[in-house]
A and B are shown apart, each in its own frame.
Chain A
């Protein structure tokens, strides 16, 4: 079966712009989580959605937001981009019982 698909793979944006990243989970998976990974901070949890509802949230400013659609696809949005938002953004999906996440290959965002 198809894995978790993240688009785009690479993105370059300018400070102050906004960006939307997309994640298509494994078919049948209803939980989608987002992570930010940087060399300095490591892997940081952004938020988790389940059946279109945000169920868990990390400690990120309100510029970071997300949503989940009825088909479980998810998007995350970052507004007013800062240089420090440059990172690898990872999406992961899980089934009804959290017996392990399947991660996508990530979106590499560079803010210049």
Chain B
């Protein structure tokens, strides 16, 4: 399966700073998705980047994908206290396995006011 591994495991920053999280995976992918989870709640889909894309933006989020290095990064600019959450990447394969998203341990982001 295409489990992603997020790095770092934890990140603590001040409000207004940028936060960068990285994701590595091992097999070829169709797309890679990023999710956020606030404590004890369900995951929220943030952004999807396809294997033929290198960069994608959504509001304060910027995602990059390097398929040659099998890695992706999520940048949150001008962070806010409300961005405090765990962030997960989920590489998605092809065909039926595209629906078997597997997640790593995530990056716990703490944004201090």
Contact = CB atoms under 8 A, between A and B. Distances in A.
Interface string A82-104: 00000010101010001111111
Interface in B1-49: 1, 31, 33, 35, 40-45, 48
A11 to B, nearest CB: 15
Nearest to A6: B42
Given A31-B99, A55-B96, A105 B41 contact: yes
A4 B35 CA distance: 16
A36 to B, nearest CB: 11
B11 to A, nearest CB: 17
Interface residues of A, number: 26
A88 B42 CA distance: 9
Interface in B47-104: 48, 88, 92, 96-104
Interface string A53-81: 00110100000000000000000000000
Contacts of B101: 33, 45, 98, 101
Contacts of A33: 99-101
A42 B103 contact: yes
A5 to B, nearest CB: 11
A99 B98 CA distance: 10
Contact of A90 (B33, B42, B106): B42
A99 B88 contact: no
A25 interface: no
B106 A42 contact: yes
12 contacts: A31-B99, A42-B104, A43-B103, A50-B99, A58-B100, A90-B43, A99-B48, A100-B33, A101-B43, A103-B45, A104-B42, A105-B41
